[in-house]
Copies of this chain bind each other. A is one copy, B any other.
Amino acid sequence: MIDDHRWMGAALALGDRGRGRTAPNPNVGCVIVSDGRVVGRGWTQPGGRPHAEAMALAEAGEKARGASVSVTLEPCAHVSPRGPACSDLLQLAGVARVVVALGDPDMRTNGAGIARLRDAGITVEVGVRADEARRAMAGFLARRLLARPQVTLKLALSLDGAMALASGQSVWITGPEARAHAHLERARHEAIVVGRGTFEADAPTLDVRLAGLEARSPRRLLLSRTEADGWTRLAAPADIATLDSVDHVLVEGGPAAAAAFLSADLVDRLLLYRAPILIGGGRTLPDIGLTDLADAHGRWCLIDSRSLGSDRLEVYERVREPAPGERG
């Protein structure tokens, strides 16, 4: 049990390498362990193929026989023009045991991958570190369950909730550590959205300004009701559903764009970078359609918080009823 937990941690870390680059496929991670030693490691490659299991099996070779496999998502059961089914590959390689974090909601797999492995006499455990896997593959799951990408809203705030001065003066609220973290988050998303007000105030380049990660700068989208030269335009928040090969969207503000996404209940995750300052009379979040305070409660759950220099990062997750067909 402790080992399953530990190896799944390694698989999750591998899967994270693909985050923001594997759409439309999930960013799966996989480790193959034989006699307590890792003999194969794999993660979904950019564009979605090869799959994590195929990569790990290729590394393990003959050592996969009798080995134990930890994989963050149920191995696929469907043969595609781009490759064979991973459940078949695992069986052919002669693995003895497969530990799965999360079932695959894709209609072509959806339990069939696990059934095939069991039919072949392979021991299968399901549900190890399922919550972490759900978070790690939230973009893929949102596509399957909500028919749209996962949306993260990033806000830099003073303690009194100001995102900008009343003057509209463009300013840094948070310090360099928080800004570096925000750039790292950009690299984990296929697309970034800003409102026209922010575009005009800050003319943001919205690239990833971190050494070695420049190539991972995401697509830039402008939320506006009017045309925008040289930019992909979102005419409304709901249009994110139409974006091709985008499973993770980062909304970077400003206040009106944030409110537009929140009003449409299209935010799954909040990244709040909070500076230890009071501004007073600044620009805060405008109306989001709340009429009764009771509706505000029970929607957000703090899942992480940490210090970044003198600022604090808080990560909140939208609490949702399980969608129809969602499995653990």
Contact = CB atoms under 8 A, between A and B. Distances in A.
B159 A272 contact: yes
Contact of A285 (B281, B285, B296, B297): B281
Instruction: Give the dominant DSSP class at A's interface.
Output: loop
B297 A277 contact: yes
A264 to B, nearest CB: 13
A300 B159 contact: yes
A286 to B, nearest CB: 5
Interface string A170-181: 011100000000
Contact of A159 (B169, B270, B293): B270
A297 B287 CA distance: 28
A290 interface: yes
A289 B300 contact: no
B159 A162 contact: no
Contacts of A173: 293
A302 B287 contact: no
A86 interface: no
Give 6 nearest A-B pairs by CB, closest first: A161-B161, A280-B288, A281-B287, A277-B296, A160-B285, A276-B300
Given A161-B285, A276-B302, A281-B286, 14 more contacts: A157-B161, A160-B285, A169-B293, A171-B293, A172-B293, A173-B293, A263-B280, A275-B297, A276-B299, A277-B299, A279-B296, A280-B290, A281-B285, A281-B287
